[in-house]
Amino acid sequence: MARPSKPTEIKLLSGNPGNRPLNLTEPRPTGGPVRPTVMTPAAKKIWAKLVTAMPDGVYTTADSHLLAAYCEAVAAHQRATRKIMEGADEIVGSTGQTKISPWFKEQADSARLIVTLGAKLGLDPVSRQQINGGEDSGRNAYTGDFDIN
């Protein structure tokens, strides 16, 4: 199955490496991302750090819900990891046998979602190479970690 084509804006930011004609009439969403009102507190913290870490103009209002889903996946992964670290790595089933905690499944599922959404948002190293953010305004100088604690 062929890879889906990139939006014209991404091709322009990448310098149009294929030198193919660009669709300059492609719709362009305006405005920066707007955080949805329904997000967990942990995801809101991740949102704030993520949006300030990326260059201006990379994300638009059309990306808001995709960004929110990514932030919720990161928050879920961190919550599951924290539970496992607190000792919730095994549970006792109804018949008394020891089982692997469902937090491992939550951790793995959210990790897969982080990888998938992160690639769409340009958050993995390979995708990030394709984005040239242009001039650095200095506004997005976040250098801390993305831990929610």
Boundaries of domain holding 85: 29-70+81-125
Q: What is the pLDDT of residues 7-54, one digit of tens each?
A: 777 777 878 888 888 887 877 778 889 999 999 999 999 999 999 888
Reply yes or no on whether the pLDDT at 2 is more than 80: no
CA distances from 20 to 9, 11, 28 (A): 14, 10, 19
Q: How many Å apart are CA 76 and CA 74, to the nearest integer?
A: 5
Strands (E), the chain: 90-92, 98-100
Whether residue 24 lies inside any domain: the answer is: no
Whether residue 2 lies inside any domain: the answer is: no
**Domain count across the chain:** 1
Indicate the pLDDT class of residue 142, thresholds 50, 70 and 90: very low
Amino acid letter at 105? K
Whether residue 86 lies inside any domain: the answer is: yes
Q: Is pTM beyond 0.85 here?
A: no
Reply yes or no on whether the pLDDT at 95 is more than 90: no
Whether residue 120 lies inside any domain: the answer is: yes
Whether residue 75 lies inside any domain: the answer is: no
Whether residue 100 lies inside any domain: the answer is: yes
Whether residue 10 lies inside any domain: the answer is: no
